[in-house]
Amino acid sequence: MSTEKSAKLGSLDKEYDLPIHSGTVGPSVVDVSALYGTSGQFTYDPGFTSTASCKSSITYIDGEQGILLHRGYPIEQLAEHSTFLETCYLLLNGELPNTDEAQEFENAITQHTMLHEQMDRFFHGFRRDAHPMAIMVGVVGALSAFYHDSTDINDPEQRKIASRRLIAKIPTIAAMAYKYSIGQPFVYPRNDLDFASNFLHMCFSVPCEEMKVSPTLARAMDKIFILHADHEQNASAATVRLAGSSGANPFACMAAGIACLWGPAHGGANEAALEMLNEIGSVDRIPEYINRAKDKNDEFRLMGFGHRVYKNYDPRARVMQATCHEVLKELGITDDPILDVAMELERIALNDDYFVEKKLYPNVDFYSGIILKTMGFPTSMFTALFALARTVGWVAQWNEMIEDPSQRIGRPRQLYIGHPARDYTPINKR
């Protein structure tokens, strides 16, 4: 970070000099951290649309150009050439691993895939129809009650073990949530399988017969995980950082991230996007839904469209669209009516003035639902899969925050619009 210039802020009858910091690429920032101390005023930015909440070297997004880089590497190259575990290593450590480092990391993740045996009682405490995200919030938070030897956030070794445990155990938890919902026995992880194949095996195998995971589907799953691995200071990552800023343990922080991701404006959008495509049902009904999306008096939005940061095609959506075709081909599905609706909807929206003017493009969630449904996942599992993949991003962001010497508890301020001080009125006088 370099500081070379300063901005002048005119406020009341005074002028304040505010330092401007520049990063390596992307917009510079006006540092207002001392503003309250000198002027007695706060800045006001609901939704943080103009506020950088931290400095970070993990992920860079250029929303205008549709660029997403992890530690400098374009997401398209990682999706094409890397694996999810290698991308995890990159996000956590800043560099791609050499052969020994990759092997050590893979072994460590593989060795942590099992859950404490007693944890399955948590699952049995939930109703069968519990949403997998409800189970994930609870069970991931409960990890803090089982792994006391990795909750001291001031010990780098404990942080490393907690990080690896989280990445390794979350697929097991997600698969168990799924198995529980369909009344099938839990399937233990298999350490001879790669990360994605193991996850598919835990989800779709049953003890009474052998299951061979398709390498094409495993590769597609791995790509989906890579595409969701991190996305800089999105709502759930910011939630993890805020929870962690108080010194809360990593498992509790990840549970907070999962809770935030659950919302339909964030991770819940892939579920909502597929439900919307199903509701539209056929290409001839698309204009009706486009009109509804444009109608100010209708709350309906095209799910899987638009993004706070991308004002261009989400680069992840492109890879997702190609992966979608690969998966359908592998499964011998030559004609999928929902994919037809999706492609036509995309075509119409991209040529419609409303969407063009507002720069609304398909985001990562637009095609992911179709792939996941085709693989056999129910819609209720979609956000759980997002959480599985995003755990590494949360963990990397959390570690970066703890290691930052300037880190303080996150404590936003407010513009108070309530009553000024007034006297308490007894109940018989109200």
Binder of ligand CMC out of 173, 269, 342, 392 (CB under 6 A): 269
Residues that bind ligand CMC (rule: CB under 6 A) add up to a total of: 20
Q: How far is the CB of 307 from ligand CMC (least distance, A)?
A: 5
133 binds ligand CMC, rule: CB under 6 A: no
Active-site entry in 129, 307, 419, 423: 307
Q: Least distance from C-beta 124 to ligand CMC, angstroms?
A: 31
Residue entry with tokens 């309530």: 418
CB neighbour class for 294 (10 Å; exposed up to 12, middle 13-18, buried from 19): middle
Is 307 catalytic? The answer is yes
Q: Residue 379 belongs to what H/E stretch?
A: none
Q: Rule CB under 6 A: is residue 358 a binding residue for ligand CMC? A: yes
- Which position among 353, 365, 404, 419 bears the catalytic label? 365
Is 234 one of the binding residues for ligand CMC (CB under 6 A)? yes
**Token couple for 161:** 């073990």
Specify the 3-state DSSP secondary structure of 120.
helix
Nearest-approach distance from CB 301 to ligand CMC, in angstroms: 4
**Interatomic CA distance for residues 280 and 285, integer angstroms:** 6
In the chain, the N- to C-terminal Cα span, in Å, equals 57
The DSSP element (H or E) to which 98 belongs, if any, is: none
Q: Is 226 in the site for ligand CMC (CB under 6 A)?
A: no
Residue 304 beta carbon to ligand CMC: minimum distance, rounded to whole angstroms: 5
Which C-beta is closer to ligand CMC: that of 346 or that of 365? 365
Residues 6+ apart with CB under 8 A from 130: 177, 180, 181
Q: Scanning residues 364 to 423, which ones bind ligand CMC (CB under 6 A)?
A: 364-365
Q: Which is nearer to ligand CMC, 196 or 360 (CB)?
A: 360
CA distance 340 to 337: 5
Strands lying side by side in the sheet with 73-74:
59-62, 67-70, 73-74
CB closer to ligand CMC, 202 vs 309: 309
231 belongs to the binding site for ligand CMC (CB under 6 A): yes
Q: Which residue number, 231 or 241, has a Cβ lying nearer to ligand CMC?
A: 231
Binding mask 174-213 for ligand CMC (x = CB under 6 A): ----------------------------------------
Query: Please, what is the minimum distance in Å from the beta carbon of residue 175 to ligand CMC?
Result: 22
Stretch that binds ligand CMC, among 63-71, 104-112, 184-192, 295-303 (CB under 6 A): 295-303
20 φ, ψ (degrees, to nearest 5): -110, 125
Burial class (CB in 10 A: 0-12, 13-18, 19+), 237: buried
Alpha-carbon distance 331 to 325, whole Å? 10
Pure H helices in 143-268: 156-181, 195-204, 215-227, 235-245, 250-261
Residue nearest ligand CMC, Cβ-based: 306
Return the structure tokens found at 304. 């899987």
Q: Does position 265 bind ligand CMC by CB under 6 A?
A: yes
Is residue 365 part of the annotated active site? The answer reads yes
**Closer Cβ to ligand CMC, 157 or 295, answer by number:** 295
Q: Which helix (H) or strand (E) holds 279?
A: helix 269-280
CB of 424 to ligand CMC, least distance (A): 40
**Residue ranges in 303-342 that form contacts with ligand CMC under rule CB under 6 A:** 303-308
Distance of CA 295 to the CA centre of its chain: 29
Tokens of 425: 């009125």
Closest alpha carbon to 286 in 370, 345, 339: 345
Q: Which segment (79-87, 125-133, 201-209, 357-365) binds ligand CMC by CB under 6 A?
A: 357-365
CB 300 within 8 A of CB 289: yes
The position carrying tokens 């444009």 is: 294
| Binding segment toward ligand CMC, per CB under 6 A, in 32-40, 132-140, 262-270, 320-328 | 262-270
CB nearer ligand CMC, residue 25 or residue 265: 265
Nearer Cβ to ligand CMC (202/320): 320
CB 350 within 8 A of CB 343: no
Q: Does 360 bind ligand CMC (CB under 6 A)?
A: yes
Q: What residues make contact with ligand CMC under the rule CB under 6 A?
A: 231, 234, 265-267, 269, 293, 301-308, 358, 360, 363-365
| Residues noted as catalytic | 307, 365
